Structure 1
């Protein structure tokens, strides 16, 4: 019986690990934080153009879907040509799409700029590419913690960019505010410099192509289960972000309560991601994910069954924030554990595509269900059922290197 291969050691680098981590966290904060505040522009953009809310909503949904579809491609390019180059191109596309949305006079242009171009820019500049660079910069024993830092930085950006966007819109107008966001996206370019380089091959798979690595991963049961499980995370995150503020208003609470809820999710997610990074170093990442999804289902059930009030919303938001993107350090850590860092960008990109399909359905089904029933109740219960499904799916996943066919042949 052959033994599993050991993941490749981090590649040589020109910059200290601390600088690589700091720069990567800066990129995650910019790309995810900026995107989280796009909803603030909806009413002003709709009022200034001949197209309506449905155009903005479809563009935003397309952005999610394109981001997910492009992620395995940009991840593969980062594995082959280096993360710095891909991140720089991503920053440029992100900025062009954001600035182009200011001048999108038709629905088609809005979909192309805000949907397609920003979606591809996000795929090339978000935490998924950053995590690929982190997997090279640190050894296996610190990877989950590093992934937690990067995800926490994205959550901090979510918490910070909401107030920044609101202030810019109030003082400078939505057009200048969106152009300022385009300028922020360009800051990804200098931040990308310390993340240069690409993964060196594992000696056991030195001749393995990207296509062979993908085929191997899709034939490995634990990886396939991980893909299915991350779909649920995307569904939860998207439906809560998109529909919880409206759900709260429908039940008689003010708009400010909904805004506070989203901010609290972002703030407490910083704590949750850092905690996940630490826990993933010491405990099984697959079992941790099972517990996390189970807790989500319990929390959603308690929230729906409890009489709605500002206190219940704030409590739910803080607790859900702890469980929000804390899935990412565990999930990305499992991919790195299974296959090492060489094709990390592409393989985690495939898992993330599943997340984005879940995100698309979470937003879309919420609208469909509300239109049919006049209530979001069914959507919440679907979220509970999916959480239980994910808790079961993650239990059999092996938190260990995958048996490598090339190593066995050798």
Structure 2
């Protein structure tokens, strides 16, 4: 399968997409490290900060179909450059925000909008439009692995910067690091000599969305991805708090997040491999089912640093590895002409789950003093997601009607 990436133009496009996602997701997935320092400095409280990050989860998802639609219509270059610049701006202004409303603006809106515009929907759509069909599965795995590698790199670096410079200096440093993704946009969006042939009839964006929202398999995919967002947002926001509850050093949280990113590099590459060999719905069902078992294992183990590291490695293997098979199903159902938009809508469902995962985690901790009920909810939702993916069919949807 990896032979499909050997052509120089295919490899360059794939690595450019992976590099951009490394920066945008690496920075975004490390924001949980800032929760405790911001709370200590501002006294805003865990619930207020969790709400700002929860709104960021929702905003990141809400911007995906919008950014995808703009990229589908006008091209991805301006969308990606604008997203990176806006994300850097959100990080840069956060230290000046001393209220809950200010954090909602900087992290919940500005930074999340920028990160979302430079994330999965636009990147996957841009790559798919420039790659031959036989290379897309492998390329999606590599691009997805870029986001995981970013988490592996950013989490320990930012933890060290927080310790040495304080959270304000670390936030400004993150803004500067975000700008490193700008030069990669040109490589990803370079026009190709041989245009990709679209196998689905193009009846317009509105018609494509209307058709998708009536399709049972597409809606089941959304439901499963909702639970994935709940799971990831809860952990990325509150894992540092869980570590602190166990009386372990803050470094355990940053290294756990880094291990999640490292493990997901291999998980993403393996997911890309599986997409080309097995039905994507079975790949997704297996991933969600494994999370139920891992959380059950974690809840029965003593809370040591090695338990957290082993838990992080196990969860990390499927962390964002759900993206390639999910995008593959959307592409199989509706083609790649409007993949950025339709996959963006799926990501919106993911991030609605993310909103509840981040926000309810803060409420649960404040109300009960631990995250116990969140772990049980996480297990139940993961089991439900595994079941919901099984009836999905993976065949092109026959589109009828007029163009929209």
* Alignment gaps of 5+ in structure 2: 1-7
Give, in whole Å, the separation in 2 of the partners of 1:224 and 1:95.
34
Provide Cα deviations, 1:96-118, integer angstroms capped at 9, x if missing partner: 21112133344433321222111
C-alpha displacement of 1:44: 4.5
Provide the secondary structure at the position in 2 that maps to 1:308.
Answer: coil
Give, in whole Å, the separation in 2 of the partners of 1:43 and 1:313.
19
Give, in whole Å, the separation in 1 of the partners of 2:303 and 2:88.
40
Which residue of the partner structure matches residue 7 of structure 1? none
Which residue of the partner structure matches residue 212 of structure 1? 207
- For residue 392 of structure 2, the aligned residue among 377, 380, 397 is 397
Provide Cα deviations, 1:4-48, integer angstroms capped at 9, x if missing partner: xxxxxxxxxxx9222211111110001011112333344544555
**Maintained 8 Å contact 1:269/1:323:** yes
Match status 1:110 vs 2:103: yes
* More off after superposition, 194-203 vs 65-74: 194-203
Which residue of the partner structure matches residue 351 of structure 1? 346
User: Root-mean-square deviation (CA), in Å?
Assistant: 2.4
* Alignment gaps of 5+ in structure 1: 1-14
C-alpha displacement of 1:55: 4.3
Which residue of the partner structure matches residue 184 of structure 2? 191
Give, in whole Å, the separation in 2 of the partners of 1:105 and 1:258.
25
C-alpha displacement of 1:322: 0.8
Match status 1:138 vs 2:134: no
Give, in whole Å, the separation in 2 of the partners of 1:201 and 1:132.
14
Give, in whole Å, the separation in 2 of the partners of 1:394 and 1:63.
27
Which residue of the partner structure matches residue 86 of structure 1? 79
Which residue of the partner structure matches residue 3 of structure 2? none
**Maintained 8 Å contact 2:50/2:358:** no
Provide the secondary structure at the position in 2 that maps to 1:137.
Answer: coil
* More off after superposition, 103-112 vs 43-52: 43-52
Provide the secondary structure at the position in 1 that maps to 2:393.
Answer: coil
Give, in whole Å, the separation in 1 of the partners of 2:103 and 2:364.
26
**Maintained 8 Å contact 1:94/1:182:** yes
**Maintained 8 Å contact 2:47/2:363:** no
Which residue of the partner structure matches residue 366 of structure 1? 361
**Maintained 8 Å contact 2:295/2:379:** yes
**Maintained 8 Å contact 2:155/2:255:** no
Aligned in 2, Cα 1:209/1:148: closer, same or farther, shift over 3 Å?
same
Aligned in 2, Cα 1:100/1:194: closer, same or farther, shift over 3 Å?
same
Provide the secondary structure at the position in 2 that maps to 1:187.
Answer: helix
Match status 1:333 vs 2:322: no
- For residue 150 of structure 2, the aligned residue among 136, 153, 157 is 157
Give, in whole Å, the separation in 2 of the partners of 1:45 and 1:116.
17
Give, in whole Å, the separation in 2 of the partners of 1:122 and 1:280.
26
Aligned in 2, Cα 1:335/1:376: closer, same or farther, shift over 3 Å?
same
C-alpha displacement of 1:185: 2.2
**Maintained 8 Å contact 1:155/1:266:** yes
* More off after superposition, 377-386 vs 147-156: 377-386
Give, in whole Å, the separation in 2 of the partners of 1:238 and 1:292.
17
Aligned in 2, Cα 1:393/1:275: closer, same or farther, shift over 3 Å?
same
Give, in whole Å, the separation in 2 of the partners of 1:89 and 1:344.
20
